[in-house]
Amino acid sequence: MSSVSGTTTPTIVIVEDEPDIADLLALYFTREEWSVSICDNADRALDVIRARQPDFVILDIGLPGEQDGLDVCRELRKTNNVPVLFLTARDDEVDRILGLELGADDYVTKPFSPREIVARVKAIMRRGAPTESATTRVEFGTVVVDLERREVRVNGDEIVLAAQEFALLDYLVQNTGIALSREQILSGAWGPDWVGDIRTVDVHIRQLRRKLGDDLPLATVRGTGYRLS
């Protein structure tokens, strides 16, 4: 992945089969000095993403081809934790995003304003940027979290976390011992300007538990939210 800080131009892959939408998004991101690639087909999306190694992926769900955007994300997540924002056309797609726990970083329902998309992408990139922190390496049994290197290992094996999953873990680690409400977690880990479903927190918590196992001392606090102890 190329760096988004300093002088490197950030790159984005837009997977969208509707040319009007793809072109409009491309225009907005080009204006923001991103390098943009468009792919209009799910079956080619992974090849394009692997070739470009983008800093961000916008992924439409309804796509021509054997696969849809959810399939693409599932496949992508096996090897890659690039931030993904889904474009959805219907509410049932949102339920599938939340239910499938694909490690998506955000989603936007059509119709949307391109400005909103740009703002969301920037917010996610800010969250993903390395934070200055006194605590950089924490161990919970077999789970080792290195906040500076943005690396998580269980029993020595590196675990691939989506950018938002890492941001959540980072926030929990920074607030170890404190019972946090879902609202606090959303504000702290997703950012105060994030607007969306509060269930997102539970979905990402489940993902962390599944990926990091029982050694992560992450307790559900009844009536409140969650606490890392």
Shortest spacing between CB 21 and Ca ion, in angstroms: 8
220: phi then psi, degrees, rounded to nearest 5 = -85, 125
CB 66 → Ca ion: shortest distance, Å?
A: 15
Nearer to Ca ion, 62 or 191 (CB): 62
Q: Minimum CB separation from Ca ion for residue 62, in Å?
A: 4
Residues that bind Ca ion (CB under 5 A): 17, 60, 62
Smallest separation, CB 63 to Ca ion (Å): 6
**Maximum Cα–Cα distance across the chain:** 51
Within 10 Å of residue 88's Cβ, how many Cβ atoms?
Answer: 22
Cβ–Cβ under 8 Å, residues 10 and 55 = yes
Q: ω into residue 111 within 30 of 0, thus cis?
A: yes
| Residue 39 vs 185, nearer CB to Ca ion | 39
> CB-wise, 62 or 196, nearer to Ca ion?
62
Task: Give the separation between CA 120 and CA 127, rounded to whole angstroms.
Answer: 11
Instruction: Name the closest residue to Ca ion (Cβ).
Output: 62
Q: Which two tokens stand for residue 57?
A: 């992926």
**CB closer to Ca ion, 60 vs 93:** 60
